[in-house]
Structure 1
Amino acid sequence: MLILKRKLIFSVGEVWFDEEPKELNNVDVIYYKQWKYPIVGAQSNEVQTRLIDLTKSQQELWQNISSNDRYKIRRAEQKDEIAYEYWDNVNSDLLNRFSDFYDLFATQKGLVKIDRSWLRKRADAGLIDISHVKLKDGSPLVWHVYYVHKNRAFLLHSASIKNSENTSYQSLIGRANRYHHWQDILRFKNSGIGIYDFGGWYTGNTDRQKLGINEFKEKFGGEVVKNFNCINGITIKGKLYLHLLKIYMSLSKLPLPRIPWSG
């Protein structure tokens, strides 16, 4: 499904998971996300992600999780007094609630705040799934946002607020997040989705935090696969957009081979 957004004078679109857009009228630039192969003529960036095959039985999916993580999931479910919640209807109020929480998380982590415009565009197209785990008083612990299309649930955002001075709370967050992923996996499986996508895999060896995230994902099983994110200028304006983007990246000292996500 082609999603369109205006950026200044440019019309920018995105398509996911090898779906060829049927119409490119009034599209200047198009992002191809999580494709199996690079797009001919486009600027392409190889990425990796970790996938779980949801056609396997629930028992097999459970056994593929490490024993220590299964223990933490059971403890979260039985002792931590937390609740799992998800939404079939993603409305503006829910998007704002999540986005406000995510922006606090991003500030704490030194990340860019969420692009609410892209998130809303995707939600309006029926492509966004949101869930969270909360305390019994209603306070959210972890939020997950997925892009769901073509038999695949891709984790776009995961957010939780840390408290480094409270180790027991940090442990609770860790258990809640594991429980949260397991509940999402079961829900997507039961709804007929065939692939659970952890939303990326770090291929370097220097960033300890990202290596820790890899380790977290690995304990759920699955396999690492190669995909491509590509960007292509369709019109003269689109080629100008790419030229300006390269200038911006150069001035910002960003690595030119990388393809920025549109949101």
Structure 2
Amino acid sequence: MIIKWKKLFFTINEIYGNVESSEKLQKADVHAFFQQPGLIHSSKRNTLHKETRTLCIDLHKSEEQLRTELNKSTRYQINKADRDHLTIRVVTNPNTNDLEDFKRFFNVYAKEKGIELFQDERINGMAGNGKLYITYVFHKNGDLLAGHLYMADGNRAGMFYSGSIRLTNTDIPKNDVGRANRYLHWHDILYFKKENYHLYDFYGISLDENNKDQQNINQFKRSFGGEEVTEYRSFIPQTLKGSLFVLLLKIKWRNQVERIKGNMVRNEQTKAKERGFFP
């Protein structure tokens, strides 16, 4: 799957999954490779590489088996939420108005959490390829409780954004909102299973053991079962502007534990070759 989008005056090709030949890609300042089994073009100069970990659920498994793999607390909360008279809404191929609605909802949550706001250009690039789904869960009184935005390619559904009203709504108990959010995740897992997807991807497990907030999110994701998978991201400049973009990323991410530097790049090259991966 390939997504082309623009950030400021930089044009980016995002490539997810299998890479046949980067020569066939449209012109861009940067080629950004995601969900790779090894580093891409790691011998080139001025490149940036990251090791990432994510949690994937195998949707080939039966619903009964998936439910069994939930931890006890999450299974209890989902069962309880089933009696809360919640309403689920799924938006397939969201249009501009749908995306604006989700953006308004998510940005309120993002500001409270202090995380990056909705990325218009990037999401519009995904939407142009028909790769997006939005799901919502509503309280019995009609209030929106939580929402998710997925990037999906027919094989793998990745949770790109997740937000709730837990931090902003004082009328509904936080426990009720959290329970509804778990229920929405469970519904989404079953939805993509019925749509014959192979993987449900929580889109990231933080490697920063010192970040308590990120570790709490990791614990939440792991409560649904699944398998942790190590993958790689490579950012390869194609123009002078692209080299500047990669340099800015290096500065921005200079302290991230996921970033691969120096000898670590050569070590990962060796590991990839041992696995038979030759990008």
> Is TM > 0.5 for Structure 1 vs Structure 2?
yes
Aligned equivalent of 1:91: 95
Q: Which residue, out of 53, 64, 68, partners 2:73?
A: 68
The aligned amino acid for 1:141 is L
Q: Does 1:35 align with 2:47?
A: no
Aligned equivalent of 1:183: 187
Identity %: 32
Per-residue Cα deviation, 1:16-36 (whole angstroms, up to 9, x for no partner): 123445733422211111212
TM norm structure 1? 0.88
Contact 1:18 1:36 in 2 (8 A): no
The CA deviation at 1:205 is 2.1
Separation in structure 1 between the aligned mates of residue 208 and residue 176 of structure 2, nearest angstrom: 29
Separation in structure 2 between the aligned mates of residue 90 and residue 185 of structure 1, nearest angstrom: 19
Q: Taking structure 1 as reference, are residues 179 and 8 closer, same or farther at Cα in structure 2, changes over 3 Å only?
A: closer
TM norm structure 2? 0.83
Q: Taking structure 1 as reference, are residues 40 and 200 closer, same or farther at Cα in structure 2, changes over 3 Å only?
A: same
The CA deviation at 1:168 is 6.2
The aligned amino acid for 1:5 is W
Aligned equivalent of 2:160: 156
Q: Taking structure 1 as reference, are residues 26 and 62 closer, same or farther at Cα in structure 2, changes over 3 Å only?
A: same
Q: Taking structure 1 as reference, are residues 82 and 22 closer, same or farther at Cα in structure 2, changes over 3 Å only?
A: farther
Mapping of residues 182-201 of structure 1, within 5 Å: 182-201=186-205
Aligned to 1:226, the other structure's residue is in SS state: strand
The CA deviation at 1:166 is 5.1
Contact 1:102 1:159 in 2 (8 A): yes
The CA deviation at 1:243 is 3.4
Separation in structure 1 between the aligned mates of residue 196 and residue 121 of structure 2, nearest angstrom: 29
Q: Which residue, out of 127, 131, 134, partners 1:127?
A: 131
Contact 2:151 2:158 in 1 (8 A): yes
Q: Does 1:171 align with 2:172?
A: no
Aligned to 1:74, the other structure's residue is in SS state: helix
Aligned equivalent of 1:218: 222
Q: What residue ranges of structure 2 are gaps of 5+ in the alignment? A: 260-279
Per-residue Cα deviation, 1:181-201 (whole angstroms, up to 9, x for no partner): 110000101110011111111
Separation in structure 1 between the aligned mates of residue 53 and residue 107 of structure 2, nearest angstrom: 26
Per-residue Cα deviation, 1:46-105 (whole angstroms, up to 9, x for no partner): 010111111011110011112221121111111x22111101231111101110111100
Q: Which residue, out of 138, 142, 149, partners 1:138?
A: 142
Q: Does 1:114 align with 2:118?
A: yes
The CA deviation at 1:235 is 2.8
Separation in structure 1 between the aligned mates of residue 39 and residue 216 of structure 2, nearest angstrom: 29
Contact 1:45 1:258 in 2 (8 A): yes
Q: Which residue, out of 50, 54, 59, partners 2:55?
A: 50
Q: What residue ranges of structure 1 are gaps of 5+ in the alignment? A: none
The aligned amino acid for 1:62 is R
The CA deviation at 1:204 is 2.6
Separation in structure 2 between the aligned mates of residue 150 and residue 89 of structure 1, nearest angstrom: 13
